[in-house]
């Protein structure tokens, strides 16, 4: 594969696209793999409608300040004022730093502890290995926010998870995929 179109990562990533690290030259090139782009379209078509519907049903949008998640239990909780509380199992997909554009798959940054919450990202990685999709197997990529959502939706789609969410972390944002929430009795 020819190397070209590298980005200057030290100046921060401003563009659009998915830029996995190149194993040949160590640079970051835009991913133009048709199979990956097809997968993104398929994932968006499946996950955007279900995630929008579930966010509305469980008031995840109007309770944005009242989410919490516990990596120990793997449980994501939505507090909907006036409607109650719901819980969903969640998977951490990636950590995205909006200043640099760096996206790290959760299996790369949570590698030490191997919590159950990285299963969806690990499954995406396994699919990526099988089909030679570097965007799913490179531990670290440079992406815009739209593409961070794309990667999250691909991981959700491959594990049949209907909902996606992002929440601010100490550095950047954590992107997650969720099972269908269940109301607390
Ligand atoms: Zn290269």
Annotate 82-126 with DSSP letters as a single string: TTEEEEEEEEEEEEE-TTT-EEEEHHHHSTTT--GGGHHHHHHHH
Q: How far is the CA of 6 from the centre of ligand 1 (A)?
A: 8
Write down the pLDDT at residue 60. Answer: 86
Q: How far is the CA of 101 from the centre of ligand 1 (A)?
A: 19
Q: Looking at the domain assignment, is residue 173 inside a domain?
A: yes
Q: How far is the CA of 70 from the centre of ligand 1 (A)?
A: 38
Q: How far is the CA of 28 from the centre of ligand 1 (A)?
A: 7
Q: How far is the CA of 123 from the centre of ligand 1 (A)?
A: 26
Distances in Å between the Cα of 20 and the Cα atoms of 2, 6, 17, 132 are: 14, 10, 10, 13
Distances in Å between the Cα of 140 and the Cα atoms of 22, 83, 103, 114 are: 10, 39, 6, 18
Q: How far is the CA of 132 from the centre of ligand 1 (A)?
A: 16
Percent of the chain past pLDDT 70, that is, above it, reads 87
Write down the pLDDT at residue 70. Answer: 86
Q: How far is the CA of 94 from the centre of ligand 1 (A)?
A: 23
Range of the domain at 87: 35-183
Q: How far is the CA of 151 from the centre of ligand 1 (A)?
A: 21
Residues 37-83 pLDDT 10s: 999 999 999 999 999 999 999 988 775 557 888 878 889 999 888 88
pTM listed for this prediction: 0.90
In the predicted model, what is the mean pLDDT of residues 141-159? 95
Q: How far is the CA of 155 from the centre of ligand 1 (A)?
A: 25
pLDDT, the chain, mean: 87
Q: Looking at the domain assignment, is residue 30 inside a domain?
A: no
Q: Looking at the domain assignment, is residue 119 inside a domain?
A: yes
Q: Looking at the domain assignment, is residue 123 inside a domain?
A: yes
Residues 114-147 pLDDT 10s: 677 899 999 999 999 999 999 999 999 999 999 9
Q: How far is the CA of 59 from the centre of ligand 1 (A)?
A: 44
Q: Domains in the chain: how many in total?
A: 1
Q: Looking at the domain assignment, is residue 6 inside a domain?
A: no
Q: Looking at the domain assignment, is residue 76 inside a domain?
A: yes
Q: Looking at the domain assignment, is residue 16 inside a domain?
A: no
Which burial class, exposed, middle or buried, applies to 83 when counting CB atoms under 10 A from its CB (0-12, 13-18, 19+)? middle
Write down the pLDDT at residue 163. Answer: 97
């Amino acid at each position: 594969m020819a190397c070209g179109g590298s980005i200057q990562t030290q100046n921060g990533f401003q563009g659009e696209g998915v830029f996995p690290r190149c194993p040949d030259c160590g640079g970051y090139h835009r991913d133009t793999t048709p199979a990956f782009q097809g997968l993104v379209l398929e994932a968006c078509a499946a996950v955007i409608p279900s995630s929008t519907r579930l966010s509305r049903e469980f008031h995840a949008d109007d309770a944005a300040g009242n989410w919490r998640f516990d990596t120990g239990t793997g449980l994501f909780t939505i507090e909907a004022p006036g409607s109650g509380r719901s819980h969903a199992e969640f998977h951490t997909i990636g950590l995205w730093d909006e200043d640099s554009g760096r996206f790290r798959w959760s299996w790369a940054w949570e590698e030490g502890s191997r919590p159950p919450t990285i299963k969806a990202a690990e499954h995406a990685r396994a699919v990526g290995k099988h089909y030679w999709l570097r965007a799913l197997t490179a531990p670290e990529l440079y992406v815009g926010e739209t593409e961070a959502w794309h990667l999250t939706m691909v991981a959700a789609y491959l594990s049949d998870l209907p909902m996606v969410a992002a929440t601010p972390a100490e550095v950047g944002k954590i992107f997650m995929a969720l099972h269908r929430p269940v109301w607390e009795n």
